[in-house]
A and B are shown apart, each in its own frame.
Chain A
Amino acid sequence: MSGQPNPRVGLFVTCLVDAIRPSIGFSAIQLLEEAGCRVEVPQAQTCCGQPALNSGDEKDAAALARQTIAAFEGFDYIVLPSGSCAGTIVHGYPDLLAKDPVWAPRARILAARTHEITSFLVDVMGFRPKGRRLSATATYHDSCAGLRELGIAAQPRALLAEVAGLEMRGLEGNDVCCGFGGTFCVKYSDISNAIVTEKAEAIERTEADLLLAGDLGCLMNMAGKLNRRGARTRCFHTIEVLAGRADGPAIGEEG
């Protein structure tokens, strides 16, 4: 634990949440404030740079890394509602800027202060949500970057266990990629489709009311496939449920 009761947290909402599902950003602010953080949303943020990084465009990726570092380095912590974007800052930036004498140390300092939100709430703030209730069954998909780059597995489950009435059901292949992969899903859309079809079948077999995950990209992929298949599963980011917002519209439902 931090020993710092009211840290100043810079929230990086991520480009997808900004454009597609603001509710995840507001859930993050709510939970961080409940945990005692002072939350700010720097206006100079855009995207962590993954589309460039994963396309091999190091120059643009490095420029975005520097921009993000400059926007966030004044905070005690930087928190993101995405394991994949957090992984980019934690591992990608220090690698990308390793040969830059000015930016390499700044990248490393920022990396050390950067956390995905569920792991931040549990590991750093020792937080558990109070008084949440949701009468539903849910299954959870472990998004790859969060799981393998940051070791996020126990934290979201520990937080969800605090929601009274929520019954969690195991998902077969919970740690197998959903086939999103950023630009992969449009560049190799047939392969991606085959992968997400298997994922959707596994989700449907759980017969859970809700599918939860910690990355909007993966959620959009799985929710979009489930909807195309006519499945009824409602999809939310984990922190939307934790913030008590699962009574609102799920991904793909109009508010």
Chain B
Amino acid sequence: MSAPEASVQVSFKNRAKTALADRTLKIAIDRTTGTAEAKRAVAVAAFPEFQAARARGRAIKDHVIAHLDHYLEQFERNATASGATVHWASDDAEARAIITRICLDAKAKLVTRSKSMLGEEIGLPHALADAGIERVETDLAEHIIQLAGEAPSHIVWPAMHRTREQVAELFKIAHHPPPSADDPATMVQSARRELRAKFLGADIGISGSNFLVADTGATCTVTNEGNAELTTTPPRIHIVTAGIEKIVPTTAHALSLLRLLVRSATGGELTQYTTFHCGPKRPGDADGPEEMHIVLVDNGRTRMLDNEFREMLRCIRCGACMNHCVVYRQIGGHAYGGTYPGPMGSVLTPVLNGLAGSRDLPNACTMNGRCAEVCPVEIPIPTLLRAWRIRSWREKLEPGSLRVGIGIWAVLARRPGLYGLASRVGVRALRLFGKGGWIARLPLAGGWTAHRDLPRPAGRTFMEQYRAQQAHKGSRP
């Protein structure tokens, strides 16, 4: 599918290593995830019904997933009745083809786009470039990474890997005239000036959608910058791209989920802009697009309906799991190598790109469970990562050294007598490598001793000492 399969596996460890060595990246990650974590904690503490809301959010999603066909058909009927055209794309290639065809038919030269992870998932930026269409990203963070020629590193803050200082440098080169100062307000003003002309000159605006409302046929988009409204209203054509799991039965359900989404993502109570688009401009409307197209994308989602990863379809893309992930907070989003980073990405990337090229992702996790603890729709992420590990083991994708190691260990562990003997020999052998209480270097255990010392085991195993004690007790008169 969209990303080249091998790239994820060959270099995950190397990408992680590079990221770990980048201290500026670490500062940027800590700033954003630290703030997000603190604000979410405050928002959740101030929302006494949070647990109940979570259970309801989960129930809404589970219900929709169980009746996906019903609600999608209802949505299509209502969206069509409102004047929109609904397209179905079974995979990323089909989605790209549909969107570029609409653009080429309309002879579009300039397309504005508001932030959408689905657009990234289907490789839309490249497809537009290949079709010779100028693309302008209107979300501030997307604007930054477009200037830098990068992919998003976070699903809520795509440019979170860059510090404010780095962004100032970027704007100085790319904006004409460059911003007069590098405080956030001046930089935002500068970006606004750059983008304003594009907003008004665009032929087509492309947005994502946070919710597809079945009973009205509306699509709902939320932002904090208002760029989505400027992307979707002035151009002649509005294209919405959305994953089919974004469906909800009614507006009330969308709002139930929105309460969870915003608190979990930014710690706010509501997004600054929450817009429902219901069909194109109607006679008498002051503004709005003449055509509205909604591209509903499957891209592996219906396959997830009946495999171990079904619960992942509940995801509302809040980003809380990555903000609270110890691994993400060390390596950032790009090291993951997929469209979606962090814990949710480690579940989704193997779905999208294949397990063979991404088996590192479900393995590069300590299974500490913090992601599941904060997930607003109670997705058991560690369980899903373990499901990938099970598949990877079954499909013999795990390295031979690990398979042999686990194999030998299991043979012993399944024979307590032999295991006891091996432990007794093992601890004595291990003691030979250390001085005092610690072992600083150990053959075959470089992964441990490269970074930390290993406590030297006691001279005899617990079982040996315990048995000696029992025998002693027994022999006493």
Contact = CB atoms under 8 A, between A and B. Distances in A.
Interface string A212-255: 00000000110111011000000000000000000001011111
B454 A195 contact: no
B20 A55 contact: no
B366 A144 contact: yes
A66 to B, nearest CB: 9
What interface size band does chain B fall in? Answer: 35 or more
B274 interface: no
Interface string A187-212: 11111111110000000000000000
A186 interface: yes
Per DSSP, are chain A's interface residues mostly helix, strand or loop, or mixed?
A: helix
Interface in A145-160: 145, 148-149
Interface string A147-185: 011000000000000000000000000011101111111
B416 interface: yes
B173 interface: no
A144 to B, nearest CB: 4
B326 A56 contact: no
A227 B462 contact: no
Contact of B394 (A25, A56, A193): A56
B368 A191 contact: no
Interface in A36-60: 41, 43-47, 49, 51-58, 60
Contacts of A46: 412-414, 416, 419
A185 B423 CA distance: 21
A249 B457 CA distance: 12
Nearest to A92: B386
B453 A195 contact: no
A67 B414 contact: yes
A224 B455 contact: yes
B13 interface: yes
B413 A47 contact: yes
B402 A224 contact: no
Nearest to B391: A56
A53 to B, nearest CB: 8
A180 to B, nearest CB: 7
Contacts of B410: 52, 57, 60, 63-64
A254 B436 contact: yes
Contacts of A186: 445, 447-448
Given A56-B393, A227-B438, A187 B363 contact: yes
A75 to B, nearest CB: 16
A55 B405 CA distance: 11
A93 to B, nearest CB: 14
Interface string A119-154: 000000000000000000000000011001100000
Given A51-B409, A191-B20, A18 B451 contact: no
Given A63-B414, A194-B330, A18 B462 contact: yes
A57 B451 contact: no
Interface of A: 13, 15, 17-23, 25-26, 41, 43-47, 49, 51-58, 60, 63-64, 67, 144-145, 148-149, 175-177, 179-196, 220-221, 223-225, 227-228, 249, 251-255
Given A56-B389, A181-B365, A191-B327, 6 more contacts: A15-B413, A20-B457, A22-B462, A191-B16, A224-B455, A227-B453
27 contacts: A19-B457, A20-B457, A22-B461, A26-B462, A41-B463, A43-B463, A46-B416, A54-B367, A56-B386, A56-B391, A56-B394, A67-B414, A144-B368, A149-B369, A181-B368, A188-B364, A190-B13, A190-B16, A190-B17, A191-B20, A191-B330, A192-B451, A193-B452, A220-B455, A224-B454, A227-B452, A227-B453
Interface of B: 13, 16-17, 20, 326-327, 330-331, 363-370, 372-373, 386, 388-394, 398, 402, 406-407, 409-410, 412-414, 416, 419-420, 423, 426-427, 436-438, 440, 445-448, 450-458, 460-463, 465-467
In order of increasing CB-CB distance, the 3 nearest A-B pairs are: A181-B366, A186-B447, A56-B389
